[in-house]
Chains A and B, each alone.
Chain A
């Protein structure tokens, strides 16, 4: 009898956060998480353009995410903003929300929503690997875990980014007359690659495509040491031989590459794990460096949250939903349109 009462008092998770085609929505308390169209009140997990869009009424996010949105969209990207430090609890109507490090990029957060005995965590994008440019992923216990599934197939393993950096440095050594152009998403991946190159002892100037400049300078302002950086814009062709340049992935197929001596196309992305993907984009040096959890990261995290129910968004939902079911977990795919397209680069899925 007692149990029956508890059940009545507990709301279904869908009543607290309702998956709609334009994002997760709290109907009772009037807010959205990472909405894909303009809304009155948006909680934003991180600054990638498929999650953080301009034109909302009020935006709640970490200070870094707000700064990044301002850099990308201008000062008037929202009518009002509120910076929320990691871990601080905020009441919005009947819900208590808090932001927790997601380890994806600088400022990235998982959003925890507690309401009427239910605890839901929306992961945004996350990774459980070390990243010298952002706080480490924090495990948050919950009843319902909403996970991304960008790399939700057991073929994806991102375990050895240092090894990939070593591969890049070996190549620079073997081809000192060629310019190494490393495609990397301009928010997060580029800075992480630079930081890892520094950790590996590479101390020469690293060149930047113009599109990387603002965000990279912002990382430096936040106290992340990236060593000597130079813009490609001012450099002569000959002096770019044997150097490393970070550029948006799309730049590697652009006229822009003609300013380099014998450009060598590299790409730092989890997609590079699959050969056909690398070859299709004519990449010569694929570097498996991802800001998303790989298959083991996803499954390990799902188990560790203690969630009994899992919602799977953007990516390879089918395989992850299947896996959850084989583990006795309730699981469903969410069809939210528009995630997985970081539009600045023209490549799907900032990975």
Chain B
């Protein structure tokens, strides 16, 4: 338990991906079975416990500490697990080196009943040091939240034997904690057998491409589809002894079946489909903003189902009737998919249409005008085109050169830098996270209101220039954050590119940007000439009313008149 706790502790402070990988790999290499396997299960989110919950912890600490001291401490620390871990009264009789192994902790958390569990947790807390107590409480309250994704943990495991993480991903659904067979394989043993078609497998993702890059590719090698502005999902229907079961997963593998009973009903045949979740009304695809109104609901009632009917636009078939199709070329899978969707006979599921082209100029024209190129009234929900290599097998992760996303042009505004925060790791001495604002009416004339935050898009050279500007123009400091001068005449104007806008109650401006980044520094422009909040509001309402453009316009000098689109950072490939 102590080694696992030290790993979590170190990971929770480590900002750099490569260093996280090394910390995890180092742990997995030096820790014996089954401990390392349970640690990997915890890091990949493969564990959940029925009775171990935060309420148990509150009760335990209340029995052991002065309420005034607890309240003052909680107030200072701000996190329940951490407060309890730090102030748990040490047991004077606890022997050193009697910390339970992680495997024992996990086994008991899974098997002990509701009545026995609190006393067991208390005994552990007595036996552990602060860091291990914190780690235990993280396990108990669920969700480690230490900035390590399941994918990252698997990548670290694969690195033990220089394997590709995708090879491990393919096996993953067949593996169970503590993964003895996996580690045996990684250490030179036999590869475990994969069971296929019954569990979520991580999706294949694409790389971004721009028009100039097309010249290097042969149009005959590729098939194009629309890139839909919905939610990437995987629908898995499996046949068990007691009947058919269908589950719907998000691209990260989260089970979202409960929210879409209307769609599940339509998926009666055993298969694994990769596709886009959309809302269709009168056979017309709705924009992402409409879909979002359904996504955000906790309970699903008849009214919601009627108003926001869920639809699956399928674009790949990973398995059919227990047969793994992922090694087949894309063109083959596509044929199987079309036949399969026909067999389903449901108006809830269709195949994503192919965008026909023979030359790149034809595709360029189609992307510029989806209405004419076949998307028709669905064009507002199109956020670009996908290019898929005819011969590409289905490879989880983001393999090079097989799938490309060519998104429509982003929106732009000119905003004013308001606050800057220091970055992490290599950027720890640079002010590299920027909060920017646009003008709006205030009580005493125009004021800047923050509309977003960005920390990439600029070059290393530009980073140095901005850093210098921030240091020389600081007007106030709040911890690692500096407020930078931002008046009508003095300040730094940044051109910010973004993928879309959403209404947000958490932001003072009422608007949140999707994927904002700094596209250009406007040293030439005085802040008074930066854009206004009204401009963003117009962009937003235009998108909400579906009056999205027939074609995007790159003209950026007059953002107010620019034809706009609202895009969701498509899960198809993001």
Contact = CB atoms under 8 A, between A and B. Distances in A.
Check if A and B associate.
Answer: yes
Nearest to B421: A282
B428 interface: yes
Contact of A276 (B14, B26, B68, B78): B78
Interface in A100-124: none
Contacts, number: 89
A282 to B, nearest CB: 6
A279 B429 CA distance: 15
A319 B73 CA distance: 9
B130 A157 contact: yes
B422 interface: yes
Interface string B78-105: 1100110011000000000000000000
B240 interface: no
Contacts of B79: 275-276
Given A155-B76, A254-B429, A274-B77, A282 B422 contact: yes
Contact of A282 (B68, B86, B480): B480
B69 A282 contact: no
B23 interface: yes
Contacts of B13: 278-279, 283-286
A262 B19 CA distance: 11
A153 B428 contact: no
B72 A253 contact: no
A253 B429 contact: yes
A154 interface: yes
B63 interface: no
Contacts of A282: 422, 424, 428, 480
A275 B72 contact: no
A258 interface: yes
B538 interface: no
Contacts of B129: 160
Interface string A250-287: 00111111100011010000000111101111111110
A275 B26 contact: no
A34 B37 CA distance: 56
A258 B479 contact: no
A323 interface: yes
Interface in B4-34: 6, 10, 12-15, 19, 22-23, 26
A162 interface: no
A199 interface: no
B76 A175 contact: no
B426 interface: yes
A154 B73 contact: yes
B66 interface: yes
Given A157-B130, A282-B424, A282-B428, A253 B480 contact: yes
Contacts of A138: none
A316 B72 contact: yes
Interface string A68-99: 00000000000000000000000000000000
A6 interface: no
B18 to A, nearest CB: 10
Contacts of B76: 153, 155, 274, 316
B130 A275 contact: no
Interface string B409-444: 000000000000010111011000000000000000
Contact of A319 (B14, B26, B72, B422): B72
Nearest to B76: A153
Contacts of A280: 479-480
A300 B10 CA distance: 31
B1 to A, nearest CB: 15
B480 A275 contact: no
Contacts of A155: 73, 76-77, 83, 86-87
Given A319-B69, A319-B72, A319-B73, A255 B429 contact: yes
Interface string B475-509: 00001100000000000000000000000000000
A156 interface: yes
A2 interface: no
Most buried by A among B6, B15, B72, B424: B72
Contacts of B130: 157, 273
A281 B15 contact: no
Interface string B34-72: 000000000000000000000000000000011011001
A318 interface: yes
A8 interface: no
A257 B83 contact: no
B429 A274 contact: no
Nearest to A254: B429
A84 B130 CA distance: 41
Given A255-B429, A326-B66, A174 B72 contact: no
Nearest to B477: A346
B385 to A, nearest CB: 40
Contacts of B480: 253, 280-282
A112 B358 CA distance: 93
A318 B14 CA distance: 34
B396 to A, nearest CB: 29
Interface string A225-263: 000000000000000000000000000111111100011
A263 B83 contact: no
Interface in A270-314: 273-276, 278-286
B428 A154 contact: no
A55 B13 CA distance: 43
A322 interface: yes
A258 B429 contact: yes
A154 B69 CA distance: 7
Contacts of A318: 72
A345 to B, nearest CB: 15
Contact of A175 (B6, B12, B19, B422): B19
B466 to A, nearest CB: 14
A284 B12 CA distance: 9
Nearest to A323: B69
Contacts of A286: 13
B479 A281 contact: yes
A316 B13 CA distance: 26
Contacts of A255: 429
B428 A275 contact: no
A263 B19 CA distance: 13
B23 A275 contact: no
Nearest to B14: A284
Nearest to B26: A174
13 contacts: A154-B73, A155-B77, A157-B86, A171-B10, A273-B130, A274-B86, A275-B12, A275-B82, A278-B13, A279-B13, A284-B14, A284-B424, A285-B13
Interface of A: 153-157, 160, 167, 171, 174-175, 252-258, 262-263, 265, 273-276, 278-286, 316, 318-319, 322-323, 326
Pick the 10 closest A-B CB pairs, nearest first.
A155-B86, A154-B87, A257-B429, A319-B72, A155-B73, A155-B87, A284-B13, A153-B73, A322-B68, A154-B69
